[in-house]
Amino acid sequence: MKHIAISIEYAGLTLPVVKNEQGTEVVPLKPIAELFGLEWVRQHKRLQEDWTAEFLGVCVVHMYYAGDQKRQMVCVRLDRVAAYLMSLNPAKIRAAGNESGAAFLQAKLTEWADALHDYETFGSAHNPRHADALLALRRANAIANVAKIRDADLRKLALAELGIDLAASTPAAADAHPDLFAGE
């Protein structure tokens, strides 16, 4: 029997992605715990706590490996892997001798905390490694602010500063941004 295998790269690991019984994408947690040098038995026990298990979506899934081997794996929701990592202490990982794992984790925790702060404070966050996305986000925010300008002439002037010519815009642009074209 053939099985389709989907995997992702995460923190230097290639993790298989499968769907659990509810149709949610999940990944095995043991390789992630082992990446940081954590004792799997202790991590597994910690994941049995009611709130943690529910929040992370801990489940047991049958995964297929080479030669159609079928194994049970403890998994967490793909979208909650970062939440699991946030529960780890870089100092303990460093004390166990995994300096590179601790440094990686500490950098990620700082990045995520900054992103969460920006999201809660400004309503959006960006990944600095994605410069194009940052430029697009800034442009979208600028356009949204221009759309709030009531005076049509001032709005045209502000759009010109952004390099947008309403006269050359398509009908689709008017449909996508009706606030920009108000009063035209």
Which pLDDT tens digit goes with each residue over 112-142?
A: 999 999 999 988 887 777 666 666 767 777 7
Sheet holding 25-28, edge to edge: 6-10, 13-19, 25-28, 69-77, 59-65
Q: DSSP H helical segments within 66-183, as ranges?
A: 81-86, 90-95, 99-122, 131-147, 152-161, 171-176
Tokens 């992702």, located at residue? 8
- Which residues does 132 contact at the CB level (< 8 Å), separation at least 6? none
Task: Determine whether 155 is exposed, middle or buried from the number of CB atoms within 10 Å of its CB (0-12, 13-18, 19+).
Answer: buried
pLDDT (0 to 100) of residue 133: 62
Is 19 in contact with 26 (CB distance < 8 Å)? Answer: yes
State which residues of the chain have pLDDT below 50: 1-4, 169-170
Indicate whether this model's pTM tops 0.85.
no
